[in-house]
Structure formats: structure tokens, C-alpha cells
Amino acid sequence: MKIIYQHLPTVEIAGRKLVGRVLFGLLVLLSAAVGAAAGLILVYSTDLPQVEALERYRPSSVTELYDDHGRVIGNFALQRRVIATYDDYPPVLRDALTSIEDKDFYKHSGINLWRIAGAAYRDIESGGKVQGASTLTMQLARNLFLSPDRSFYRKMQESLLAIQIERRFTKPQIFTLYANQIFLGHGAYGFEAASEYYFSKPARQLKLEEAALLAGLPKAPQYYSPIMHPERAIKRRNLVLNAMLEDGKITAVQATDAKSKPIALNVQKDQNVLAPHYVEEIRRYLDAKYGADQVLEGGLRVYTSLDLDLQKAANHAVLDGLAAYERRHGWRGKLLNVIAEGQKLDKYQDPDWDEDAEVNSYTHALVVQVSPTGATIRFGQHTATLSPADIAWTKLKLPAIFRVGDIVYVKVLSLDPSAKSRVSLEEDSGTEGALVAIDNATGEIKAMVGGRDFNLSKFNRAAQALRQVGSSFKPYVYTAAIDQGASPDDTILDAPVIFQTASGPYLPHNYDDKFEGTITLRRALAQSRNIPALKLADRIGIKTVIDYAHRFGVTANIPTYLPVALGSAEITPLEQTSAFTVFPNDGVRVAPRYIIKVTDYEGRILEEDYSDIKDVVSSRTARIMTSMLREVVLHGTAMAAAKMPYPLAGKTGTTNDFTDAWFVGFSPSLTCGVWIGYDEKRSLGDKETGSRAALPIWMQFMTAALVGKDPGEFQPAPAPQGSAVARKVDTPDIAPGDGEGH
């Protein structure tokens, strides 16, 4: 048998060998690539954060303070953030954001390879680093877990994290995490906080042009800031609208209409400025109890006793009262000049201008031009002209008062964005004021003013300043007498008396240096006669009087010498006001309180503050004292308030040399205390008594606080029972010191 061998062509054999070698090489390369990729993944996943933490993750959020009607009065935060749900973000905002930042967000698995390839090509071509290819998920991974540098190493980690996030969370969850986390300029984190900051409304109410504006901010919040750079913001907004049009999210008509709209911001005011001293008191308390981290990042909800409407009335009353005082004492000048300080007019920004001016508010303004017929001033975005008539109260001419560059203090009378506003010239000589208003029945602090300007001084004169209370201390003297059996109709001799002291004879006198002879206790208190108060205190014992003051809630250490009866004791306005609530409250003291309730972010109650109640005096004594203090308003030193159509009572107070002026008074439902003075021991000026300096502020506030409300009625005083106290007060004991009150 003959076997015939058929030989293949040499070329065909060689080709097959080449194909085999190529395939083998490709397999080797593929194996190497897979190995390299696995190695890279192993390297880049080393120390990679665990995305499981996102299931428990909650970004830091704002601690908010609410008034007694649920209105926000302040907040504490490292980052201004309000946590929202997916449904809180309207479709128009979701569409705007995905169109400009990540068109395929709802389709990809965390990374977009085509975008990465395109961005990488552009970066290689330009010699830069990989950038501009991040999806929303990658941005979220970077913001939560990674550094902001743009290295290849970080980009790989970002991609790996994005893939893990996509595997564990739904698209709505990822979008919500991103939308709550991203920084959008001016301290706002997340689109809910940004919507409230830029437009003063929740995100769900955003219009198309507003949503597009916000969606354009993540790229560069400061560069595209609609506040600082409105032209750039408009261009960026229109770019977002074009992207939405290309994606079919909006029609051409909608895009054209939105592009034609100007930027209409309604920047949220800083709520902390309405009651800054009150808010600061709460911050100090929360810091001490919960720690600064929890307060600044934990998103606490603090429900306070403050009434925002009453607080606004208190602010106006104190500033108006200080302005009236300043005008009574004439122009004193001594204006700060920014040019003399080496500053330029066009660069100057006053701290007052951080907040928009409001009608009836007070602000500092810059003089930019002066002529015999007027001085042009600037405050924030507003201008106004002070005419000779506006400064008539100074009795000086314009060029004698102002120089270009001076900082003047004015009250805003009207605001007109398209024309000059109207202001009145005022003065700030350094006088300060404090006001506290407390609900009698609950002890809740409804309003608190701690000073003229929180920006200049954060010292809370309402809660921290120990000041001599003058004759507003006398009610403790009369309360002790009434409690021991005296009657308001008992008589006492208002006549010269000498008290022998260790340093020599003490000859006290009345405010008017006159004596009324035999008068009733009721009249003695109403007219704030010093001699009767000293005689009563001497007879009862000054230690007993001080004990009564402590029972009323006064915690200050009061020296045991007789002139304390005239008000040399130093007490804070808060304690003095709280003490007076005992009278209309039938002898019961309810401790003052700021906070009603505190909850955590999830709504769990962390604390509830219940009223601390204590019996101080009998209801009989309290009602008699209320009737006597009512006489102060009807026929005494506070008679200016008698014209008010409400049942009111109270007591004026003036210290030696007119350094402190007080009025503490009450209606059946509300007690308010007002103090006026300088921080240093300095006279307010001759005749600046409590009735002249403090009472008008009290009247303005109480008028606003009681208008339209049922004021109630005081409980009637019981019939007099006779007395053995007042008839025996003409024999003085030895007592040191001096004092005077009004």
C-alpha cells in the first residue's frame, strides 16, 4: 500500500503559528491587565472607607431655636444645613441638577466611562490631571470620604467608592445624600438650606429660574455667587437652562421665559439679630449641658419662651428711649472719621450693614458729601440726605457737625430702593439700656434686651449687670411691714430725722428736699418718700427686709445697713423683674425660664423645663402691695402711665447722682423691668430719674404688648385690719451709710 503525504504550504503553517503566538500573547496581556487591575484595585481599595457607614450617616445640621409660636429666632451651626427628603426636592430642581452635573445619573452604575475617557483625553492633551468627569455619586463619595485634591490615586478611590455606593443605595437615596451634603456658598450646605438662604423659602417652592440658579452653584459656589457676582450667576443659570432644554426637560418657551427673568434674591435675614442677648444666654446653657459639638452639629430643636412680636417691640422701645435721652442732652459730637483712620470711603463697610436696614431701625452711616444745604450719607445699599431741618435739635449748622468720612448714628424713617431714603440724625454717647418682660403665671421670659448693640458689646445687662436699684427696692420694705400687720392707710411722719452712725450723724433727705409731715404708707410709697421707707426699715430691721428680698428671688449679697432700704443694693434687671411678678401672682414666685423643651434631631425629648414655683408671701400681702403699687401709677411718681387704658402698677427707681434709672411694673398678666444707665458709674444727668428716663420705654413696650388683648384685672385688696407697726416708726436705730431713691 502506498502512502502519499501531502505537504501543506510553508506559508500557511507559518501563519497558523503566528496566530497562535498572537493569541497567546493577547492572553498573556489580558492576564497581565486583569492582574494589574486586580492589583490596582487592591492597592487603591486599601484603607478605603466603608460605605456601609452611609446607612447610619447623618450630616451635621443646624440647631434651631423657636419662639412660643414656633417661629425661628436663632440658630447655631458650623454649617448651615437643613436636612430634606427626596420628595422635598421638586422635579424641576432634580432635572436642573442632573442636566448640568450628571445627565445619565439615573442610568449609570456610579461612573460614566465615556465621560472619564473624554475628560482624560482632554487632560492629557492639555497636560493637566484627570478632572471634570465626576458623576453625582463620585462627587458624593469625594465630599463624604476623600480629600479634595485631584490626583489619579484619589480619582480611582472615588470611582471605586461610587460603584460601592450604587450597589448599596437607590438613586433617590444617593440624590438625597448629595443634595443635603453639597456646599452652595455663603455658609449654606445642601439645596434646602440654600433655597432658604437665597430665596427665604423651602426648596419645594422653587421656580424654574431659581432652581437653575441653585443647580449651577456646585461647580464653584463663590465664583458664581448671585450675591457677589450676579453677572456670572446669570450666565451659569442660563447654561443650566440650555442643558435642560437639550435634555428635553423643559420647552424652548420655558427656557426663553426663564432666561429673561432677572435674579430676584430674598436673602434670609440672620435670625440671631432679633434677640441676640437672649439667644446667647441659651447658647451658653446648651454648651454647658450638651457640649459645643452637639449644639453646633447635632441639629437640636430648642423651644423657647420668647415671643418674637414682643421682642421686636422691646427692641424698638429701648432704642427709641435711648434716642430721646440723647436728644435731651444735646449734640456732643466726637464722631469717628474713617479717613482719619486711614480707610477709603468706597471700601468702608460697617458691621451694621451686614443686615438689611429696616424702617424704624437704627444704624451707623457714612458721610460721603457735605454742603451747607445737606449731608449725603450711605448705609449699606441705601443713601439719604440730612438737611438743616433734620439736625435742628443739635442747634448747630451742617458744616460744623459733619466732615466727609464721619460715622453718624441715624434712625431709618423710610426706605426707597430707587431713590434716597429718609433718616433722622441721632447720637450714641454710650448710654445703655436693658429690658426684661416675664409672663406672671408661667415665669416665661417673653422679651429681653441686653444692650444697645450686640455687635459692639455682647455683655447682657439684663441678666448679668448688677446695678443699684434705687427706690424700686422699697416694695420689699413695705411688703415686710404689711406682712407683719401694717395697713396701707396707717400713717407715718415724713419729717427730718437723724440716725447716729459709727462715722457720725446721718441726716437722710427726700428727693425733693421737702417733707410732707404725716402721710399714709400708701402715699409714702406712691411718692417714693425716703424718710418713711428708712423709718419702716429701721423699725422692722434691715436684716428682715433683706430676707424678704431674698425670698422674692434676689440672690445678690446685700450688705446689712439701713440705706439699703433706699436701693443701694445691686441686683440684675432679670432678678428684679422676676421678683415683682410675685405681686400680681398672689404671692407666688414662678422662677424665670428661657427654655420650654429641647429635642434631638429625630424629635426625642431631651429635656422639658417645668416651672419652679414657690410661695413668697400671703395672697393678702400680695394684693395689698399690688394696690399700693397701683397707686404709684395712678397718683405717684409713675403717673405718666395713668393714661394707659389698662390696670397697671409698678415702682420707679433712681440712684444717687442719677447713675441708674429704673421702672419695674406689671399688668395682671405681664411684668416688665427697664434699666437705663452707663456701663461705668457715671451720671445720666440732672433730673434723669426713673420716671423720666426708664418709664417712657416701659410705657411704649407695654402698650405694644397689651394692645388688642384682654388685660385682665388685679385681685381686689382685702379690707384693712389696723396696725401696730407704722405708729412706732419714729424712733431711729443706729444705721450706717447713705442712700437716695425716687
- Catalytic residues, by residue number, are 101, 471
Answer for the pair 648, 669: CB distance below 8 angstroms, yes or no: no
Q: Where would I find the H helices in 505-657?
A: 521-526, 530-540, 542-551, 573-580, 619-635
Q: Which sign, positive or negative, has the C-alpha torsion 162, 165, 167, 172?
A: negative
CB-based burial of residue 248 (10 Å sphere; 0-12 exposed, 13-18 middle, 19+ buried)?
exposed
Please, which contacts does 630-633 make with residues 24 or more away whose CB atoms are closer than 8 Å? Answer: 630/714, 631/522, 631/523, 631/525, 631/526, 632/525, 632/526, 632/528, 633/665
Answer for the pair 353, 380: CB distance below 8 angstroms, yes or no: yes
Give the three-state DSSP class for 94.
helix
CB-based burial of residue 483 (10 Å sphere; 0-12 exposed, 13-18 middle, 19+ buried)?
buried
Give the three-state DSSP class for 519.
strand
User: What is the CB-side half-sphere exposure of residue 143 using CA atoms within 13 A?
Assistant: 21
Q: Where would I find the H helices in 415-485?
A: 474-483
* Residue 509 bridge partners (DSSP): none
* Residue 445 bridge partners (DSSP): 438
Q: Is 504 left (phi over 0), alpha (psi -120 to 50) or beta?
A: left
Q: Could you count the other beta carbons within 10 Å of the beta carbon of residue 451?
A: 20
DSSP state of 691: I
Answer for the pair 136, 178: CB distance below 8 angstroms, yes or no: yes
- What is the rounded end-to-end Cα distance, in angstroms, of the chain? 148
Question: d(Cα 337, Cα 406) in Å, to the nearest integer?
Answer: 4
CA angle 531, 537, 542 (to 5 degrees): 135
Alpha carbon 730 to chain centroid, angstroms: 53
DSSP state of 200: S
498-507: b (≥16 Cβ within 10 Å) or e: ebebeeeebe
Beta carbons within 8 Å of 676's beta carbon, 6+ residues apart:
321, 322, 325, 431, 432, 433, 660, 661, 662, 684, 688, 693, 694, 697
Cross-sheet strand order for the sheet of 649-654:
445-449, 432-439, 670-677, 660-666, 649-654
What is the β-pairing status of strands 301-304 and 63-66?
parallel
